[in-house]
Chains A and B, each alone.
Chain A
Amino acid sequence: MQEPSIPDIIQLIPLKSYLILSTALFVIGILGVLIRRNAIVIFMSVELMLNSVNLLLIAFSSYKSDPSAQVFVFFIMAVAAAEVAVGLAIIVMIYRNTRTIDIGFLNKLKG
């Protein structure tokens, strides 16, 4: 018996389920950003949001038999890495100056 191809395996699960799963992950990411006060955890939640998008794109790509979305996923991953580099640098900079990464303390600019 021939091994089933990966797209076939992906398509064992209905598209709707992927949609629901990635939306759920996305919403969890949003909630994380909303609730957590630690800058790094917020940042991780944003990453979760990005990855839920990746999942969704892969699912669509597979169902439409169109590779362009997979290319897009690579771009998202690369850009996310760049963002991480800059983001962590900013967080480190803040930690050096204030000895905290709790966003609750960052409200000097307002009004």
Chain B
Amino acid sequence: MPVTLLVLIPLLPLIGFLINGIGFRHIPKGAVGLIGSLAALGSFAASVAVLLAFKEGGSQPMIVSLFDWIKVGELNIPFSFQVDQLSLLMLMIITGVGSLIHIYSIGYMKHDPGFGKFFSFLNLFLFFMLLLVLGSNYVIMFIGWEGVGLCSYLLIGFWNKNTDFNNAARKAFIMNRIGDLGFLLGIFTIIHAFGSVEYTEVFRQATGLPVGDHVVFAITMLLFVGAMGKSAQIPLYTWLPDAMAGPTPVSALIHAATMVTAGIYMVIRSNVLYTLAPETLEIVAVVGAVTAIFAASIGLLQNDIKKVLAYSTVSQLGYMFLGLGVMAYSASMFHVITHAFFKALLFLGAGSVIHAMSDEQDIRFMGGLRKKLPITFITFAVATWAIAGLPPFAGFFSKDEILAHAFEHNKLLWGIGVLGSALTSFYMFRLLFLTFFGSFRGTHEQEHHLHESPAAMTIPLVILALLSAVGGFIGVPEALGGTHQLAEFMSPLFDTARQVNPEAFAATALTHSEEWILMAVSVAVALIAAVIAYVMYISRSAVPAPESEARTGVENVVYHKYYIDELYDTVFVKPMKSLSGVLSSFGEFVIDLFVEGTGKLVKGLSNLGRQTQTGSIGYYVFAMVVGIVVILFWNLLLN
């Protein structure tokens, strides 16, 4: 395999970052966008070339050692890249979707004064993300992990000048730090247990351990805490909806398609360890399922177009963890891929809408946009169809595979998953209908301004729509007469895990007819939810109540129409609303309270500690003497 090609993959974005980062004051805007996008595209091209070379070379995983990095005593950490099925798939997603989003950003950010800064951060993000997935040991992964986190804060706070460490960035920051704490401790426990951080070495040693080993349990749990932070799982998820304060392409790239799936990547990468720790997997599955339904229920009644998508992302990540928990590793990866397509598409579509609406994000003031933004509408509809899990688009295949595995593992988890997919279908169609159907509810100026986005923005939309439509065919289940190419491709990754815990990998026990029934159930449920959404928001044109009292005439009418329909209100809307309300207040509020509380506690302690510094020498000497006496007393008399 050409090593230079491999090195180019992360290097190109880094070069792009340096050029744009150093010279953004001097380089004209056109060139900035071009450099940034070319860096991403070049990286994509190199990734494709590496993938082809990999397939040609017989799909043998290989470790490309670049240089000796650190050698401290026993611990030897080389700087090397691992090329195998998993890193290649991630490379394709990151560089592929990343390139599209770069191109999209040229159009979207055109009028922004921080254009150059934006592109340099985006390139830097790509660099760290590529490092994360390419590294052959946990330390490189951690460096990428921290790096993407850093870029994420920078970009969340991109539009927030003059606020003191603004709330959203701070929350993202604290929650991710909790996750990083887990990850770091996990790494050090790995060093303690195995004396190495290289994946191959760690897994080789792990094969000698029995299933259910305590140390492995500790390691996997700690790593999972890291994954919870980065991939926004309960209870560390509230930062992701807040992170929507950043520009929309950032939400698409970082907070939907790539960075937030790092946690899933990490678990799949460590599949040997997780397979050895069934208890951890159980916890992963439960956390994933609960997050899936919890976030979906909050998404039901959000009115901010990006917030809906954010909760949807949290929920979909929950599905991925559910898949990991029931050991459907390749199914989870499948969902990572399809989700990257349709969720990036949804965010970019939302960006296109926001662009057209002059930065309005509230869906209550949208409506009827399908005539003015036809391309955005069609692509958005494709993505909605895909995420709702309706055939034959991508989401159907990947979600169904996860649900089938969940069914085998635990019927309750499956039930939660199906319910969640009903909710998903409902809120996504609600979003679609409120945004694109009905009549326009915004101001006249906005209506006048409505326009389809430029080609730089619509072309990525179309490409992603195509991918969302056909992306699922890389993993058609046997029950539908297809071959699961993805699962076959990824199969060698799990050889070691299969060896250590063969029972866990037993072939599927479901018959084809059972699988058909499962598929039918989830499709039916999703369809019913879509129909309910249709009835509610198109037939009855219900619009969620605005928060303020002052309404324009049109809104008033709509509002009352919604209001008089009392029967319908009490039967369907109120329970749902209260459920969503309770969940969001109880969950989110408590979690945020905890996070804020931690901050306050530290500050309080700080103030308290500060007061010990009285400025008086006598007091200082006294404290010292007390210290000395305690130390001497403790050591000499008590020991």
A and B touch in their complex, CB below 8 angstroms: yes
Interface residues of A (CB under 8 A from B): 30, 33-34, 37, 42, 103-104, 106-111
Majority secondary structure of chain B interface residues (helix, strand, loop or mixed): helix
| Contacting pair A111 B625 (CB below 8 A) | no
User: In the complex the two chains form, is A110's CB within 8 Å of B614's CB?
Assistant: yes
A103 to chain B: closest residue by CB: B617
Inter-chain CA distance A37–B619, complex, in Å, is: 11
Across the two chains, which residue of chain A brings its CB closest to B628? A30
Beyond A34-B625, A107-B614, A111-B615, list 4 extra A-B contacts (CB 8 Å): A103-B618, A107-B615, A110-B615, A111-B610
> Which chain B residue lies CB-closest to A30?
B625
- Residues of B contacting A37 in the complex (Cβ-Cβ under 8 angstroms): 618
* 7 A-B interface contacts by CB (under 8 A): A33-B621, A34-B622, A34-B625, A104-B616, A106-B617, A110-B616, A111-B615
Q: Is the CB of B616 within 8 A of A107?
A: yes
**Which among A42, A103, A108, A110 has the highest number of chain B CB atoms within 10 Å?**
A110
Q: Is the CB of B621 within 8 A of A108?
A: no
Which residue of the partner chain B has the closest CB to A105? B616
Give the chain B neighbours of A103 by CB distance below 8 A: 616-618
For residue B319, give the distance in angstroms from its CB to the closest CB of chain A: 51
Give Cα A109–Cα B622 distance, bound, in whole angstroms.
Answer: 18
Q: Distance in Å from the Cβ of B229 to the closest Cβ of chain A?
A: 34
A106 to B618, CA, bound (A): 10
Q: Does B613 contact A (CB under 8 A)?
A: yes
**Which residues 561-611 in B have Cβ within 8 Å of A in the complex?**
610-611
A103 vs B620: C-alpha distance when bound (angstroms): 12
- A39: nearest chain-B partner, CB-CB: B617
Complex: A106 Cα to B615 Cα, angstroms: 7
Q: How far is the CA of A104 from the CA of B616 in the complex (A)?
A: 7
Residue pair A104, B618 in contact (C-beta under 8 Å):
yes
- The smallest beta-carbon distance between A16 and chain B, in angstroms, is 16
> Using Cβ atoms and an 8 Å threshold, which residues of chain A touch B616?
103-104, 106-107, 110
Q: Which of B613, B615, B621 contacts A34 (CB 8 A)?
A: B621
Return chain A residues, CB-CB under 8 Å to B614: 107, 110
- Distance between Cα atoms of A30 and B621 in the complex (Å): 9
Distance (whole angstroms) from the CB of A40 to the closest CB of chain B: 13
Quick one: CB contact mask for B207-221 with A, threshold 8 Å, 1 for yes?
Answer: 000000000000000
Note all chain B residues with C-beta closer than 8 A to A111: 610-611, 613, 615
Tell me, in angstroms, the Cα distance from A42 to B616 when the chains sit together: 14
For the complex of A and B, the 7 pairs showing the least CB-CB separation, nearest first, are A110-B615, A107-B615, A103-B617, A107-B616, A111-B610, A110-B613, A33-B621
Name the one of B610, B611, B615 contacting A109, with C-beta atoms under 8 angstroms: B615
Alpha-carbon distance A107/B619, docked complex (angstroms):
11
Complex: A30 Cα to B625 Cα, angstroms = 8
Contact partners of B615 in chain A: CB under 8 A: 106-111
Q: List the B side residues contacting A106 at CB < 8 Å.
A: 615-617
Contacts of B611 in A (CB 8 A): 111
Q: How far is the CA of A109 from the CA of B610 in the complex (A)?
A: 12
Contacts of B618 in A (CB 8 A): 34, 37, 103-104
Nearest Cβ in chain B — how far from A10, in angstroms? 27
A108–B617 Cα distance when bound, in Å, is 11
Shortest Cβ distance from A90 into chain B, in angstroms? 13
Complex Cα spacing A34 to B629, Å:
14
